[in-house]
Chains A and B, each alone.
Chain A
């Protein structure tokens, strides 16, 4: 049976040095055919990024889970818009326009996205920035509430423009780019070491996942593999990171429903994970501990026992908190049926992580396409379909339980061995791509190595396909439930803004 991916493959010209999945240079006609396949749901968009004279789309086939990258050369800086027919591409196209000047033809939304008129191609623009026209809402008794970029809590910068009728949100429009640091430009020409450090600072809460995705992309490009012990230690760090963030989110969601007790206890559990990370890997967030080729440091002999002891205690304490969440009516009253995301939208946007899995999309990059060592480990991918705040809480709870089990399996499999594989430098261009499951969802890293340095690297945060869905989930809810909905999504600002 011919799938959408194999159709692209047969029509395009395959790029030789691209691993592990193929990249094909396609015609404008095939690009439009690909857009149709996205609209019809035969393909899901994994990423869309630009270069000076080309636009690339990473895709996964819905039925076969085949992955490929389609590239369209656009020497005149223009290409047929995907976003005009397939909304998940809109913000990615706007970003590619801001960063590389590539114009999506016939796109409906031509407003800049990351570019606030404060910089332009390497030079900061003087003078007042141009006004940003927000989308309009029409109707009686509507009022607008602007929020941000400086928020009331300890939160990253972003702007939310609510249009409300009384207490009910009629429209939410997000505006981002405030945390844009020009990371992809800093990466161009950087050594692999420096680029790895930058990748680890795309989104601080996912530093392990980003470092892992970057390392795997480098290793794919160079056709090497990290040694087995390093693969296991990487997964151990990734599960620590998932635990720390899920504990934090579970507590913070309850806190936003004014139930502080769970928040306080989750804060203790989260701190426990961070201290364990410090104990085992020498850094609370485990920054720069995963490096291309392997890992930066080993566990000492006492570490496994410390980990086992923590897991045993955390399991018991977490169980009490879950039971408290499940039996507190006032808390459930806030989370159940609040901020519902439909499975249709989750599927259309290819939403990853707990956002997708709480709305019926059973995608987990650890399983599909899968990578070492997860292919040999037993774990379940929890999926729910009711798509509300409560469902996103329960997905996190189930994932915490799975992470406990994964950590135990990882420790059981640890055997002595080398920690790094050497990176053989090559002069000709070779490209690598990786898809890694962070706590928030799947992170895509695509890069090209040339003359021993990174010549182009694109990092796609899961938030790109989750933030737009928050706008949909909040519609019809009251303004006061926004913090709760927002926290249940917990999208990244820095990871999105790059």
Chain B
């Protein structure tokens, strides 16, 4: 263990340089963050992730945000265990009929001001699962969405660029 810890001190960090915020995401989110919210939140946002029926591919890449390469917390963004603690709901998946109520209740449990970030192609319009009897639709079919980050799944860098747009908008 000592060797590993020492190496951690001596070796250069693996962390990637900070990417620039995604301009498209900036444009989408820009008007959604009002002055009062900016004042209250500053640059720090707490994120509650909700899987509303995804294939789990998006979750894998969301997990990757916390590894040494992307190190999400350096941007003031962190995942929290309850919607009660969250500023941002990060929702994946086509919303299934069986998850609709749970998603609505999670949204209602999140205090204002709050934002919803829909992750992945399925979260936009149910993607490849559109038209199924068991799927309600994209996230915006159930709760209001402030920002979409597309991809199947979006890679961690795309996620980071989208989330940085959210931080920039809330801190301007």
CB-CB under 8 A from A270, the residues of chain B are 64, 67
CB-CB under 8 A from B59, the residues of chain A are 154-156, 204
Query: Taking the complex as formed, is A207 at the interface, i.e. its CB lies under 8 A from any CB of chain B?
Result: yes
Query: Taking the complex as formed, is A397 at the interface, i.e. its CB lies under 8 A from any CB of chain B?
Result: no
The residue of chain B having its C-beta at the shortest distance from the C-beta of A186 within the complex is B132
The answer to whether A181 and B96 have CB atoms under 8 Å apart is yes
1/0 per residue, CB under 8 A from B, across A103-139: the answer is 0000000000000101101111000000000000000
Query: Taking the complex as formed, is B138 at the interface, i.e. its CB lies under 8 A from any CB of chain A?
Result: no
Query: Taking the complex as formed, is A161 at the interface, i.e. its CB lies under 8 A from any CB of chain B?
Result: no
Given A122-B133, A123-B133, A285-B153, decide whether A180 and B56 contact each other with a Cβ distance below 8 A: no
Instruction: Compute how far the CA of A268 lies from the CA of B63 in the bound complex, rounded to whole angstroms.
Output: 12
Given A179-B51, A324-B4, decide whether A204 and B98 contact each other with a Cβ distance below 8 A: no
The residue of chain A having its C-beta at the shortest distance from the C-beta of B134 within the complex is A182
CB-CB under 8 A from A493, the residues of chain B are 56
Q: Tell me the residues in window 138-186 of chain A with beta carbons closer than 8 Å to chain B beta carbons.
A: 149-150, 152-157, 177-183, 185-186
Q: Tell me the residues in window 120-150 of chain B with beta carbons closer than 8 Å to chain A beta carbons.
A: 128-129, 131-136
Query: Taking the complex as formed, is B44 at the interface, i.e. its CB lies under 8 A from any CB of chain A?
Result: no
Smallest Cβ distance from B154 to chain A, in angstroms? Answer: 10
The answer to whether A494 and B67 have CB atoms under 8 Å apart is no
Contact of B135 among A156, A181, A194 (CB under 8 A): A181
The residue of chain A having its C-beta at the shortest distance from the C-beta of B126 within the complex is A181
Instruction: Compute how far the CA of A330 lies from the CA of B129 in the bound complex, rounded to whole angstroms.
Output: 45
Query: Taking the complex as formed, is A487 at the interface, i.e. its CB lies under 8 A from any CB of chain B?
Result: no
The answer to whether B67 and A205 have CB atoms under 8 Å apart is no
Query: Taking the complex as formed, is B9 at the interface, i.e. its CB lies under 8 A from any CB of chain A?
Result: no
The answer to whether B60 and A204 have CB atoms under 8 Å apart is yes
The answer to whether A116 and B4 have CB atoms under 8 Å apart is no
Instruction: Compute how far the CA of A150 lies from the CA of B110 in the bound complex, rounded to whole angstroms.
Output: 13
Q: Tell me the residues in window 211-239 of chain A with beta carbons closer than 8 Å to chain B beta carbons.
A: none
Smallest Cβ distance from B107 to chain A, in angstroms? Answer: 11
The residue of chain B having its C-beta at the shortest distance from the C-beta of A324 within the complex is B1
Query: Taking the complex as formed, is A198 at the interface, i.e. its CB lies under 8 A from any CB of chain B?
Result: yes
Query: Taking the complex as formed, is A279 at the interface, i.e. its CB lies under 8 A from any CB of chain B?
Result: no
The answer to whether A203 and B68 have CB atoms under 8 Å apart is no
Most B C-beta atoms less than 10 A away, residue of A119, A154, A271, A285? A154
CB-CB under 8 A from A178, the residues of chain B are 53, 96, 98-99, 102
Given A154-B79, A178-B53, A179-B54, decide whether A268 and B67 contact each other with a Cβ distance below 8 A: yes
Instruction: Compute how far the CA of A179 lies from the CA of B59 in the bound complex, rounded to whole angstroms.
Output: 13
The answer to whether A179 and B53 have CB atoms under 8 Å apart is yes
The residue of chain A having its C-beta at the shortest distance from the C-beta of B81 within the complex is A152
CB-CB under 8 A from A284, the residues of chain B are 61, 155
Instruction: Compute how far the CA of A180 lies from the CA of B106 in the bound complex, rounded to whole angstroms.
Output: 19
Query: Taking the complex as formed, is B162 at the interface, i.e. its CB lies under 8 A from any CB of chain A?
Result: no
Given A178-B99, A265-B4, decide whether A287 and B57 contact each other with a Cβ distance below 8 A: yes
Q: Tell me the residues in window 32-91 of chain B with beta carbons closer than 8 Å to chain A beta carbons.
A: 49-64, 66-69, 79, 81-83
The residue of chain A having its C-beta at the shortest distance from the C-beta of B68 within the complex is A268
Instruction: Compute how far the CA of A152 lies from the CA of B83 in the bound complex, rounded to whole angstroms.
Output: 9
Smallest Cβ distance from A214 to chain B, in angstroms? Answer: 14
Contact of B69 among A149, A183, A197, A271 (CB under 8 A): A271
Contact of B98 among A150, A177, A183, A248 (CB under 8 A): A177
CB-CB under 8 A from B161, the residues of chain A are none
The answer to whether B66 and A267 have CB atoms under 8 Å apart is yes
Contact of A152 among B82, B100, B131, B135 (CB under 8 A): B82
1/0 per residue, CB under 8 A from B, across A469-498: the answer is 000000000000000000000001110000
Query: Taking the complex as formed, is A264 at the interface, i.e. its CB lies under 8 A from any CB of chain B?
Result: yes
Query: Taking the complex as formed, is B3 at the interface, i.e. its CB lies under 8 A from any CB of chain A?
Result: yes
Query: Taking the complex as formed, is A16 at the interface, i.e. its CB lies under 8 A from any CB of chain B?
Result: no
Extra 12 A-B pairs, beta carbons < 8 Å, given A150-B50, A154-B49, A202-B55: A116-B98, A121-B133, A122-B133, A153-B81, A178-B98, A179-B54, A182-B134, A201-B152, A205-B57, A205-B60, A267-B66, A268-B14
- List the interface of chain A (C-beta within 8 A of B): 116, 118-119, 121-124, 149-150, 152-157, 177-183, 185-186, 194, 197-198, 201-205, 207, 248, 261, 264-265, 267-268, 270-271, 274, 278, 284-285, 287, 320, 324, 328, 492-494
Among all A-B residue pairs, the 8 with the closest Cβ atoms: A204-B57, A267-B67, A182-B134, A182-B132, A152-B81, A118-B97, A204-B56, A204-B55
24 of the cross-chain contacts (CB-CB < 8 Å) are: A119-B134, A122-B133, A124-B136, A150-B102, A156-B56, A179-B98, A183-B129, A183-B132, A185-B133, A194-B128, A201-B129, A202-B55, A204-B60, A204-B153, A264-B68, A267-B67, A271-B64, A271-B67, A271-B68, A271-B69, A284-B61, A285-B57, A285-B60, A324-B1
